[in-house]
Amino acid sequence: MAIGIDLISFYTPPFFFSLDDLAKQRGVPAEKYSTGIGQKEMSMLPPDEDVVTMGANAALQILEKTERNRIKALIFATESGIDQSKSAGVFVHKLLDLPKDCRIIETKQACYSGTFSLRAAMGLVSLEKDSQVLVITSDVARYDLHSAGEATQGCGAVALLVSEQPRLMQIETESAYISEDVMDFWRPNYRQSAIVDGQYSTRVYLHALNECWKKYSELSKRLPEHIHQLCFHLPFTRMAEKALKQLFRCKEEFQSRLSKIAPGLLYNETIGNSYTASLYLNLCSLLDFNEDNLEGQRVGLFSYGSGFVAEFFSGIILKGYNKHLLKEQHTRLLANRKRLNYQEYLDFYHFALPQDGTSFHTPYFTDGYFRFAGLDAHKRLYEKAQKEA
């Protein structure tokens, strides 16, 4: 049974902050960000958006190309949850008018849970003929102002439709995974921003990649030349270069691989880190911008979630995949974003909701199809925006 990614789409809010402007405010050369970590811009979350609205906006583009009554589960992967009990996916289910006979669950393990959700979706599809599962990865990367992580902020969502006989990529059965208890990144419930030991986290990431790569090679009996393309979890864009150096010590092979992954980095360098969505944003960019025909090529994907859990797996790009991409919508979304000035960046960053049950209506900012309308007696309120789908 061939199971995999039938469709893929992403969404990011219509606002960004330039890292050139951040560099000026922090008194550092712009190259520290553009060259040092490979970032140009970071998407910024307005007051009337959150992981729910981003996820719903990402998924809406997919639903226009499938039969909604075939979707039998919605798995929502995030580390930016908006409730300790209720899944963000339940809110999305209502916004998207999905069928009632649909399982819904939220998964969490730093940036890895999107990959677990994809694997779980494949299992569910295998149990029910002609069914589909909607996987949504949606996150807000947030760090303290003036911290080393500030320049790696961002936000976005990627939606994946998982089905039998997919149109984009068949996921292969072999995968290698590893888990260890480390404290390289964490976000306590009482904090709005994450705590990260960046250098340590990078070392753990590369250790996990090395271990998963070796195990995958042993399981699959495949050599490096059998992996035609590579996608990585990208906490910052230059992490891909570090990952390649870990895997390919030969200078010629490294340079060849570096040019191959370049198309897959374009979305990440303008959106920033999107945690669970990051790996799949890399895949989406690869599919949208690679000028070669990728039909029949094997893509290796490395998923890393701090703390940590990691997995390396692969998929085959299918014939006719490029007929089902949403590149035009994606590029238009990015082209229409508004550039924030420094004060607007701070206003968005410091925005906070009341926590005493007071009714609150969020001001109108977004151009998306859905918005977070506010709070009433501690209940989150969502609505379809004025924009018509």
Instruction: Read off the pTM.
Output: 0.97
182, 24 Cβ separation under 8 angstroms: no
With cut-offs at 50, 70 and 90, classify the pLDDT of residue 389: very low
Residue-averaged pLDDT of the chain: 96
Output the pLDDT for position 386. 73
Output the pLDDT for position 1. 79
- In our burial notation (b when 16+ CB lie closer than 10 A, e otherwise), range 117-146 reads bbbbbbebbeeeeebbbbbbbbbbbbbeee
pLDDT digits (tens, 9 = 90+) for 341-355: 999 999 999 999 999
pLDDT digits (tens, 9 = 90+) for 228-239: 999 999 999 999
Output the pLDDT for position 164. 97
pLDDT digits (tens, 9 = 90+) for 255-287: 999 999 999 999 999 999 999 999 999 999 999
Give the mean pLDDT of 351-373. 96
Find tokens 């590579």 and name the residue. 230
- Given a cut of 60, whether residue 388 has pLDDT beyond it is no
Find tokens 């911290």 and name the residue. 147
Output the pLDDT for position 387. 61
58, 124 Cβ separation under 8 angstroms: no
Query: CB-based contacts of 287: which residues, under 8 Å, 6+ apart?
Result: 8, 168, 294, 317, 321, 322, 325
pLDDT digits (tens, 9 = 90+) for 103-118: 999 999 999 999 999 9
155, 141 Cβ separation under 8 angstroms: yes
Output the pLDDT for position 107. 98
pLDDT digits (tens, 9 = 90+) for 12-56: 999 999 999 999 999 999 999 999 999 999 999 999 999 999 999
Catalytic residue numbers read 79, 111, 233
pLDDT digits (tens, 9 = 90+) for 159-205: 999 999 999 999 999 999 999 999 999 999 999 899 999 999 999 99
- Given a cut of 70, whether residue 212 has pLDDT beyond it is yes
Query: How far apart are alpha carbons 170 and 205 in whole angstroms?
Result: 26
Query: How far apart are alpha carbons 68 and 70 in whole angstroms?
Result: 5
Query: How far apart are alpha carbons 302 and 364 in whole angstroms?
Result: 38
The structural domains of the chain, ordered by start, are 3-384 (3.40.47.10)
Percent above pLDDT 70 for the chain: 99
What size, in residues, is the chain?
A: 389
What own/partner pairs with CB < 8 Å and gap ≥ 24 does 27-36 have?
A: 32/151, 33/151, 36/238
